[in-house]
Structure 1
Amino acid sequence: MVKKALLTYALAAGVLIGPMGTAGWAAEGRAQADARPVGVVETRAPLNVREKPTVYSDVVKKLHPHERVLLSCQKRGGWVDGNPVWYRLHGSKGWVSARYVHNLQPVRPC
């Protein structure tokens, strides 16, 4: 009877803590916090990456159609085909119009 009770408690603790222990949960939380939303360029021609979130800003580089990019955050800027949202690219100083980039995950505001 005691062995059965100990086995039950051990199994319950394993379910509560999980197979990786509590350190696994912390590591998983950090990985999710470090993960950046991904976007896909939805154009037929190269997409201009702008210095600021407006079409009047200088072009700093171009992205290819169907290219996957990491997005840092989103912000309202100049309107492009009825869409005022712009995405800041992760790892570069540049903005792309959300009109031409499909976000695969939610993007936090800047």
Structure 2
Amino acid sequence: MAKKALLTCTLAVGVLIGPLSTAGWTAEGLAAGDGRARSGPVGVVETRAPLNVRERPTVYSDVVKKLHPHERVLLVCQKRGGWVDGNPVWYRLHGSKGWVSARYVHNLQPVRPC
């Protein structure tokens, strides 16, 4: 009886986690120029307006580009920087040499420290 319950529970978890996997996602900036996919933590921009990508992890740094709402991006690492709405964490973006506030990007996997 316990084995059957464990198997049922394991299958249910597999069904729930399977669709949440990011393996099949593609987004601007997620593929390398040489055709090979880059791996790393994926983040989703959680704003209603374009999100500024900064040169350094502070709101006083120059804007190098903007990200669109709900855009998926690759995150290289995280570090503490200037506080944004109570959150001091900033993510380094892959390929753009820029930083975004973690306040506005939801990380879908753990992000290593810089």
TM-score for both structures, normalised by structure 2 = 0.66
Structure 1 distance, partners of 2:48, 2:39, is: 28
What amino acid is aligned across from residue 61 of structure 2 in structure 1? S
CA distance in 2, matches of 1:49, 1:35: 21
Deviation of 1:55 after TM superposition, in Å, equals 0.1
User: After TM superposition, what 4+ stretches of structure 1 lie above 6 angstroms from structure 2?
Assistant: none
Q: Secondary structure at the match of 2:103?
A: helix
RMSD: 0.8
How far 1:92 sits from its partner (Å)? 1.4
Q: Which has the higher helix share?
A: 1
Q: Where does the alignment leave 5 or more consecutive residues of structure 2 unmatched? A: 1-37
How big is each residue's C-alpha offset from its partner over 1:80-106, in whole Å with a ceiling of 9 and x where there is no partner? Answer: 000000000011110000000000000
Instruction: State the shift of 1:54 in Å.
Output: 0.1
2:85 aligned residue: 81
Among all aligned residue pairs of Structure 1 and Structure 2, give the percentage whose two residues are the same amino acid.
94
Q: Does 1:38 align with 2:38?
A: no
- Given candidates 74, 92, 95, the residue that maps to 1:91 is 95
Aligned to 1:63: 67
Does structure 1 residue 51 correspond to structure 2 residue 51? no
Segments of 5+ residues of structure 1 without an aligned counterpart are: 1-33
The CA distance in 2 between the partners of 1:87 and 1:109, in whole Å, is 9
**TM-score between the two structures when normalised by the length of structure 1:** 0.69
TM superposition shift of 1:70: 0.2
Equivalent pairs counted in the alignment come to: 77
